[in-house]
Amino acid sequence: MKTENITNCIKWWLIALVFLLAPVPPASGLVLAVHGDLQLTTAVMCESVHNYAPIHPAVVFPIQRGRVFCFTEFASISSQTRVYHKWYRDDRLITNQRLVLNPPRWSSSTSVQLRDADKGPWRVDITDEAGTPIYTLRFSITD
């Protein structure tokens, strides 16, 4: 009876150890939104983009930055697809920038140049070709 209890205890410890030591997938493996067969895996506002990666993601940017970027990455793209980054300041459309995504995964970014009058709340709606929202990013421009 004691040997059986010890054996069961060892089995449970080994199972727990397997789960504790299992690798954790990187954050980019998460899916933020699914739209048809598109999977949005990354969507961030950032200071710049380098080597297809966002640099210094944030939600508040100083006007002195001069420019702000919207970086998106999609997976599971089955065919060439168009999406849009619609930039709004105070709920007023400022620019609508088209992106062409190619299979099987694609990252892309758009940006706007900042002027002193651009302080305040902003958002970028990521939409499909029909204008259906996929995801929204909100951020602010400050002094």
Question: Where in the chain are the domains?
Answer: 26-142
Mean predicted confidence (pLDDT) in 62-77: 97
Whether the full predicted model's pTM is greater than 0.75, yes or no, is yes
Report angle CA 89, 90, 91 to the nearest 5 degrees: 90
Average pLDDT, the chain: 87
Q: What is the pLDDT of residues 6-46, one digit of tens each?
A: 665 555 544 443 333 433 334 445 899 998 889 999 999 99
pLDDT at 82: 97
pLDDT at 10: 58
**Domain 26-142: which CATH number of 1.10.3720.10, 3.30.365.10, 1.20.1440.230, 2.60.40.1930:** 2.60.40.1930
pLDDT at 26: 40
pLDDT at 90: 96
- pLDDT category at 108 given cuts 50, 70, 90 is very high
CA distance 23 to 72: 25
What six digits make up the tokens of 80? 């060439």
